[in-house]
Amino acid sequence: MSNNIFKIIAVLGVFTFLTVEAKENCTPELKLAQPSSIAQSTNTDSDTKSVFIYFDQSLSMQGYTKDQPGQNNLYVNVIDDLQQIAENVGSKTYYHSFGKAIVPIKENKISQVIKPSFYDCTSSAADCNNQESKIHLPFKMAKTNPDGTYIIVTDLFLASKQLVGGTLSQLTKPLKSILKKGKSVGIIGVMSSFNGTIYDIPQREGGTISYTEAQKRPFYIIVIGDQKDINQVKKNLEEQHFSDPGDQYKYTLITSTPILQNLNQNKLITEDDIKNISKADNFKFEYSDNFLPIYKFDTNNKRNLKFKIQNSNIIVPGSTGVSSFKITNTLWSSKQINCRKINDGDWKKDKRLDISSIVRNEKELNVQIFKGSDVESLKKIFWGRRYFYLMEIYAQKPGNLSEETFKDWSIRDSDAEEFTAGNPTEFKTLNLTKIIKILNSVANDEFKPTLIASLALNFNLLK
């Protein structure tokens, strides 16, 4: 009996010792920023999701349906397979044409879309659906049923008058609603053969002209919905139609959430993300209960520390990216080196704010620790103290990569007449860069600064 009592006392003693160890004041009182809400769509199951396809019926689209000798007619090939592609993202597909209005198309009539007669009209121009291209109409439909996936096939040939005032707001208002609900807009541009007439090319002095000498011209597949469905459509198109090295296509993702994830929540930050730090004396790496990664070590003020983040871990593929990042810094110090001797009031908060800086390249984000604008004052931090440095990294402003992606396929109103006079065989898209810029602007308005990573350094500064 007495032996059992001694064993219990011994166990309690060890437990008490461990409890004291656990209550070390080696961390100051922290108020961590909460991971930003990264809006994601509901990802409705494909077995219950509907797909709505809209074909631009404006007369300029007719040229895609006629073969051009020596050129690859990707338009006809893609439209032929669009029904099968739609089945990969939804259980039921509904087809429509749009121009002046949206008109349903029966499933057994879909084959007409790749024939020139689909774009003809024998009625008066006022009654025809091929005289206008009201692209805002499918966007309006996507707003009313955000759980569906919407695919729009169009030449995106929009005059400046369609991109201002009330006409513009008819496009931007539903887009804003779509993005707020966690949806995204993918734009896939495909260079295809063309054998027809391009209408409504603006002249500088007013009025419009037509052009019939183009042999190639891009068309666009706009996909509105969940990012995974947009990526599925893009993947299917790449695998089935863009395997030839000569095929030209472009892609961008318009989204108000270009940030893929918070690195802390998924514990993606490791001891190797600060190069060579694991070689420091008394090194230890661990996550706290609130997912904060802490690097604990002894060092001197000459150590060069760089924290590295791969862009692929934080940026949504194909999106506009991030143009600027921000670091919030908090630095504490204590005269006590030994954690067990630090009392609650021993941690003193430093006044320095700009402690570290960011250097970027195409593949990664490098945070140069202790190399901010306050670097000179950092040289005056005292040896023989323990420091606790908390760093929180935010995506501060979205980028504009998609505008650059489509730049060489775009022509402005003011340059369209001169461009046409040069008899180009590959015709550009009117105001394409402006359209992408408008869509990005709406997405950027919905963007909120997003916390992508938090980490802490807990170290003794030695001579």
Each as own residue / partner, the long-range contacts of residues 11-20 (CB below 8 Å, 24 or more positions apart, any chain) are 20/340
pLDDT value at 14 more than 60: no
Residue 462 binned pLDDT confidence (cut-offs 50, 70, 90): confident
Which pLDDT belongs to residue 7? 45
Least confident of 83-87, 125-129, 339-343: 125-129
Greatest CA separation for the chain: 108
Q: What length is written for the chain?
A: 463
Q: What DSSP state is assigned to residue 274? A: B
Gap between the Cα atoms of 427 and 194, Å rounded? 9
Q: Is the dihedral of CA 60, 69, 407, 225 positive or negative?
A: positive
265-271 mean pLDDT? 94
Residue 403 binned pLDDT confidence (cut-offs 50, 70, 90): confident
262-274 mean pLDDT? 94
The pLDDT tens digits of the residues spanning 307-334 come to 999 999 999 888 888 989 999 999 999 9
Residue 16 binned pLDDT confidence (cut-offs 50, 70, 90): very low
Distance of CA 273 to the CA centre of its chain: 23
195-218 mean pLDDT? 94
Q: Which two tokens stand for residue 108?
A: 């057994």
pLDDT value at 399 more than 80: yes
Which pLDDT belongs to residue 383? 82
Q: What DSSP state is assigned to residue 428? A: P
Which pLDDT belongs to residue 307? 96
pLDDT value at 447 more than 50: yes
Q: What is the mean pLDDT of the chain?
A: 87
The pLDDT tens digits of the residues spanning 175-194 come to 999 998 889 999 999 999 99
The pLDDT tens digits of the residues spanning 286-310 come to 999 999 999 999 987 666 789 999 9
Q: Return phi, psi of residue 458, to 5°.
A: -120, 105
377 vs 74 pLDDT, higher one: 74
Helix, strand, coil percent content, the chain, rounded in steps of 5: 35, 30, 35
Residue 19 binned pLDDT confidence (cut-offs 50, 70, 90): very low
DSSP, collapsed to helix, strand or coil, labels residue 7 as: helix
Which pLDDT belongs to residue 340? 86
Instruction: Report the candidate in 83, 401, 81, 87 with the shortest Cα–Cα distance to residue 242.
Output: 81
In this structure, the strands spanning 364-369 and 305-310 are: antiparallel
pLDDT value at 60 more than 90: yes
CA atoms within 13 A on the CB side of 263: 24
Instruction: Report the candidate in 54, 252, 75, 72 with the shortest Cα–Cα distance to residue 153.
Output: 54
The pLDDT tens digits of the residues spanning 130-173 come to 888 889 999 999 999 888 999 999 999 988 888 888 889 999 99
328-356 mean pLDDT? 87
Least confident of 222-226, 300-304, 419-423: 300-304
